[in-house]
Amino acid sequence: MGTQESNEPQGTGRRALLGAAVLGAGALGLSGTARAADGPGAAGRAGGLRSLPKPTIIGHRGASGHRPEHTLASYQLALDLGADIVEAGDLVPTRDGHLVCRHEPEIGGTTDVASRPGFAGRRTTKVLDGVSVTGWFTEDFTLAELKTLRATERIPANRPHNTLYDGRWEIPTFEEVLRWQDEQTRARGRQVWIYPEMKHPTYFRKLGLGLEERVAELLHRHGKDRRTSPVIVQSFEPTSVQRLNRLVDNPLVVLLSGPATRPWDFVETGDPRTVADLVRPAGLREIASYAQGIGPTLDLIVPKDASGRLTRPTTLVADAHKVGLILHPWTLRNENPFLPAEFRKGTDADAYGDVFGAYRVYFATGIDGVFTDQPDTGVLAREDFVNG
């Protein structure tokens, strides 16, 4: 999932956690009023996007506001805190073709690889979707080598508390996540949903490490390749979603960044369209022909002005709903730098702002759910919203 990191000055203060943590694996912190999109009783039936509570709370890379992202511990905590879906897996391949869960193929910022003398020679510079990136890349490691590494906090200046857990957990594979999903479903007595993302598919296809076929093969093997399967697959590259649509029947989502940006597969193929074109009615109708939803940046729902304050909502929610698409925008985070300016409190980069106020504004637009780094806060915000 894309990021909205800030370059603002970073501090070390921290506010107390907003609200109480949700108690129990199955607790949603609601009074029974969060509705499934299919109407009363739908949430209890197996299968389908429409069976999910609305607004859906999606644990962004797990509970990444509380644990280092893309670890089984982060995924587990997201469920404990009430997330309806866990974004378990930004999927990138190893040299020997396994899919692992990392935010990016460059792992210098999310693992302890830089401290491993044996891997010092693997540090290199590559061009990733047109950008020069220096570091260590998953495609240069075997799975066995990656399993010797341990996860670290990606944004320690914003989340110094998460550095307590640096070095504790290994990098999970997508197959391990699929097994974990089954284990958690049995243990919790309710269907656990996951929301993996295929990262940089054009880049990896050029390396002979096509993602779509690998994802499809694992979903087939685990019997999770149907329209009602509890696995939503997403990508920033529309042609990658189209390719996967020919291989599986899972619900699929096209991710959308800023309006002036172009998906990298469009750049590679010479398609001149930007995200601004894709969010127009004609673009949305095209997406609806092969996907069930879109994952827009929150700025496509409610733009900000030059001072970082929210302006008027766009028509994207209504336009997408008209063609049958759901909207799961990204990403709500509790910390000041990631909030609209009017909801910040103080200047500390790791202090919490009025995130509940931000949730109210975004939920009021009619979005179907939201990615959040702090699912416990999202669940409480939903309770406030649905109960008026």
Q: Which two tokens stand for residue 18?
A: 């907003």
Alpha-carbon radius of gyration of the chain: 20
Q: Where are the alpha helices (DSSP H) in 167-232?
A: 174-188, 201-206, 211-221
CA dihedral (366, 370, 214, 142) in degrees, to 10, reads 160
Which of 335, 336, 330 lies closest to 56 in space, CA to CA?
Answer: 330
CA distance 119 to 141: 9
Please give the sequence-ordered ranges of beta strands (E in DSSP) within the chain, or none if there are none. Answer: 35-36, 53-54, 56-59, 85-86, 90-93, 99-101, 124-128, 131-135, 193-194, 197-198, 233-235, 252-256, 293-296, 326-327, 369-372
Which of 307, 283, 61, 261 lies closest to 172 in space, CA to CA?
Answer: 61
Beta carbons of 194 and 181 less than 8 angstroms apart: yes
Helices then strands (H, E): number in the chain? Answer: 13, 15
Determine whether 60 is an active site residue. Answer: yes
The one catalytic residue among 98, 103, 200, 328: 103
The one catalytic residue among 60, 66, 200, 328: 60
Q: Which two tokens stand for residue 104?
A: 């990016």
CA distance 338 to 353: 9
By annotation, the residues acting in catalysis are: 60, 103
